[in-house]
Amino acid sequence: MAWPTSKPNSNAFDAASDKISDARPELKTMSDAVNNMVDFIQPSGITNNQVLIYNSTSGAMEPGSATAPSASADSNGVFYGATTEIYATGTGSSTPSAGQTIVVIHSGGATVGYNYTIDLQNYVGNQKVIVIHDGTALGIGGVNTVVQYNGTTIDTLAGSPSNTATIGEFTIIDTATADSAGNNTYIKYITTTADGSSSTDIVKVT
């Protein structure tokens, strides 16, 4: 079965003077199209959080679970993948696995400033990652998420205004031409704060 592509000619049955013999084949085309649509879309048994997915075996759209698209270097400002949530209650660091969106949630009762470091050294080969800094805790001063690559600081995310999120998009770029030391990895990034300000740059990291 397939989605219908043939449409009836309504000129054959849009006037009182039209002949039944002329209208019959066009009505048959319309009936076939409706039947094909009913056969092509099979929503029976669909439940919450499911979508209709094409089944090449049955040739129909059937209920199923949606899967996230794969990340690519060409994804325009959006990174799809698993999400890692890091609850930072003090100074610390993490080196997340590649292929993840990272959310750093600063919380706790500390009244002094502190930094939490994220190192993206596992992200290589033209990958993109989103790091979200969420300084949600009240009474914490100078809360930052420091983004690094193999120990080299790329940028520091902070809540602006206080207790709000800052989003950073970091793209790992491996160029074909290395320098004299054999290094050829760059990080292109753009960060945006809640007050609308943004910064962008390209940093050589290896």
CA atoms within 13 A on the CB side of 16: 0
Contact 145, 116 (CB under 8 A): yes
Alpha-carbon gap, residue 103 to 133, rounded angstroms? 6
DSSP 106-140: E-SS--S-EEEEEE-TT--SS-EEEEEEEE--TT-
Q: Provide the percentage of residues in the chain whose pLDDT is more than 70.
A: 80
Q: What is the pLDDT of residue 138?
A: 53
Quote the mean pLDDT of the chain: 79
- Give CA angle at 174 (170, 175), nearest 5°: 125
Q: What number is the average pLDDT over the span 98-105?
A: 78
Q: Of 76 and 20, which is predicted with more confidence? A: 20
- What is the rounded (10 degree) CA torsion for 50, 56, 59, 61? 10
Dump pLDDT digits (tens) for 155-175: 888 766 666 778 888 888 887
Q: In this structure, what DSSP letter does residue 90 have?
A: S
Question: Distances in Å between the alpha carbon of 114 and those of 123, 135, 151, 161?
Answer: 25, 11, 18, 17
Alpha-carbon gap, residue 41 to 53, rounded angstroms? 10
Q: Where are the domains of the chain?
A: 10-64, 82-204
